[in-house]
Amino acid sequence: SQQGEEDPQALSIQEGENATMNCSYKTSINNLQWYRQNSGRGLVHLILIRSNEREKHSGRLRVTLDTSKKSSSLLITASRAADTASYFCATDSGTYKYIFGTGTRLKVLA
């Protein structure tokens, strides 16, 4: 069963714009991670945020976590065509496995 649900399912923006995608989950977590997947390839780890953190930055990525709302958001600033991919959140709820969300398909138009 899916723990995380990403929203929106698909997003299309122009190069240079910011892209925001959200992840909601159901149970309390130890940490939450975001991954990127280019078409037909494996997932690449982007960033991890722990349950006691509220915001984290990595380059053009900004992740926020609101444990009271059981939600996280990933912001990609100044998007590039190369950012076109699917983005997944993955939660660690102490069940000794990561549960992945359904993903957001991002398309950045040049």
Give, as ranges, the residues between 28 and 87 that touch another protein (CB under 8 A). 30-31, 33, 35, 40-45, 48, 50
To the nearest whole angstrom, how small is the minimum distance from the Cβ of residue 41 to another protein? 5
The site for another protein, by CB under 8 A, has a size of: 27
Q: Which residues pair with 10 in a beta bridge?
A: 105
Instruction: Pick the binder of another protein from 73, 74, 103, 108 (CB under 8 A).
Output: 103
To the nearest whole angstrom, how small is the minimum distance from the Cβ of residue 31 to another protein? 5
Q: Among residues 42 and 110, whose Cβ is nearest to another protein?
A: 42
The β-bridge relationship of strands 104-109 and 10-14 is: parallel
Evaluate whether 7 touches 87 at the Cβ level (below 8 Å). Answer: no
Please report whether residue 12 would count as binding another protein according to CB under 8 A.
Answer: no
The β-bridge relationship of strands 31-37 and 61-66 is: unpaired
